Amino acid sequence: MVGGPAVFCVLMVLLASGESVLGARLMWLALGLVSVYFLVRAWRVGVELRDSELVVRDQFRTHRIQWSEMNQARLEPMRTASPLKNQFPYVALAVDLTAGRSRQFEGVSASEGQAAVLGEMVEQINRRIHAA
């Protein structure tokens, strides 16, 4: 998740260091700062299982859901408008709530082929839901 912004940041700094024109150097550095922002946002993504709640941090928000408000956690195909979604499918963490709705957390996602860690996380979440 942090690989893309990190590579982009390093690339922008390298381009800025090789530039002799001040305006172009400033442009590359500005793009580097934007990539640092997204690097920090991507770094904070995570899931925390607390005693009373599930905390999901995606790139932009922190979601807190009480264990008693959830029926189950699962992996579901990501909602995306990409024309390549069938060739490169991704799955994301989703939680079915007792109120009848479902929440998908796109920040906690992986390609289908590498979703084993997410599957283990879903099992742990479901154990906590059923124990509550």
pLDDT in tens, 80-92: 767 777 788 889 9
pLDDT in tens, 116-127: 999 999 999 999
CA 66 to chain centre: 20
| pLDDT tens series, the chain, 132 aa | 577 778 888 899 899 999 999 999 999 999 999 888 888 877 888 899 999 999 999 878 899 999 999 999 999 998 876 777 778 888 999 999 999 999 999 888 888 888 899 999 999 999 999 987
CA 20 to chain centre: 37
Rounded to the nearest 10°, the torsion over CA 110, 111, 115, 118 is 20
Read off the tokens for 112.
């289908």
Read off the tokens for 93.
């963490």
Strands ordered across the beta sheet of 46-49: 46-49, 53-57, 62-66
